[in-house]
Structure 1
Amino acid sequence: MSGGTGHHLAIYNFGLHVGPSGDPRIDGFLHREPFNWQAALRSEGFVARSGYQGEPGPESWGLQVFPRFIEGSGFESGPSSLSLWHDLESLMAFTYSGVHADALKNARHWNQKQSWPPLVLWWVKAGSKPDWRDAVMRLEHLADHGPSAFAFTFKTAFDPFGLPASIDRGRVKAISASNLKRQADLLEAVLTLPV
């Protein structure tokens, strides 16, 4: 599926760390985060991402809120991101290869085991930006009702018009290979970082 549909694919993810800010157990995550965003900027199909209020970088897409899964955790915030991509294949290529794949491989060291979906996908009109509140609502909807055109996953995906979608694995592989060339120096640096 191409980005020529007049839509962009939104992704929101949310987790909880194993310790508070300043805890050395999450240093590996914090050291990798800027590399992940640099890798996204160099990846085919990346459109834009929300920043975080009070932090340098892109503007925040509304007031950042968190899903109900944070309740009782003792945390006021959790690692989360909100971004836009051209299509399923470009997002999948970024997510599961290169710099970001290294972060996924090590996430169990930094994040608590989740009882909720780690991410949610949905389509937005090109030129519009989803906000944090909408993202949270969609993650909770996915957790409560399973995948639908309103809130879905890579495993059960939908196209911008609400029809079931299949992912072109060959295209994912080709994009991954192309991205790896553009991320080579970042990946080399990331692989030297402690977990």
Structure 2
Amino acid sequence: MTSAAKLAIYNFGLFVASYDSPAVEGFRLREPANFSAAECAEGFIGRSGYEGEPGPESWGTQVFPRFINGSGFEWAPSSLSLWADLESLMAFSYSGVHADALKHAKNWQVEKQWPALVLWWSEGRPDWAEAVERFEYLHDHGPGPRAFHFKDPYGYDGERISIDRTRVRELAALNAERHKHLMSHVLSMKV
């Protein structure tokens, strides 16, 4: 793999109730703000949309990991996106608008018996099927160059790496400036 590779992320969860229920309203209200915050975050490259919905093109047919089986749901919250590097993604994920959503996720999603997310390096645009395959691989085999997470990251060369925490803080500060209006809006929302 070359340094032209981009960081792919896929995440998956299950709601405590149907998407349109009052129990999940806090998620529903925050979802557009999270997408907007990602799109103007430092290091964001692009994200898959969802078939039949306005917004970005879907990167293939959306599929779900086996953990949806027996849940009673045919659809579950998941996202697939590309980022410039680990630090950019971490700065977005764990600060600001997205961090607020993570803080409240236990109100909307069932406790996970699977990884929260999977990361991998991609030289092209991944699709949903590849994302799900890597997600299940991480669950079944643990982190490695093929599928990993923030706690045990790998570089595009397949070697373990360390995340530059100073750069993460710098990027988070840049994003905070860009997301001021979104953050004040999100903080006024129902949980």
Could you say which TM-score interval applies, normalised by the shorter chain? over 0.9
Say whether residues 1:185 and 2:181 are aligned partners: yes
1:166 is matched with which residue: 137, 140, 162?
162
CA contact (8 A) 2:48 2:79 kept: yes
Note the 1:108-147 alignment, pairs <5 A: 108-125=106-123, 128-147=124-143
Trace 1:35-184 onto structure 2 (pairs within 5 A).
35-125=33-123, 128-184=124-180
Deviation at 1:188, TM superposition (A): 0.2
Q: Residue 104 of structure 1 aligns to which amino acid in structure 2?
A: L
Gaps of 5+ in 1: none
CA distance in 1, matches of 2:18, 2:169: 37
Give 1:22 shift: 1.8
CA-based RMSD: 0.8
CA distance in 2, matches of 1:60, 1:118: 21
Q: CA deviation at 1:184?
A: 0.3
**TM-score (norm. length: structure 1):** 0.96
Q: Offset of 1:21 from its aligned partner?
A: 2.6
Instruction: Indicate the percent of aligned positions where both proteins have the same amino acid.
Output: 58
Letter in 2 for 1:189: H
> Where do 4+ consecutive residues of structure 1 move more than 2 Å?
none
SS at match of 2:9: strand
SS of equivalent residue, structure 1 residue 82: strand
Number of residues paired by the alignment?
A: 190
Equivalent-residue separation in structure 2 for 1:37 and 1:70 (angstroms): 23
Where does structure 2 lack aligned partners over 5 or more consecutive residues? none
SS at match of 2:106: helix
| Residue identity opposite 1:35 in structure 2 | A
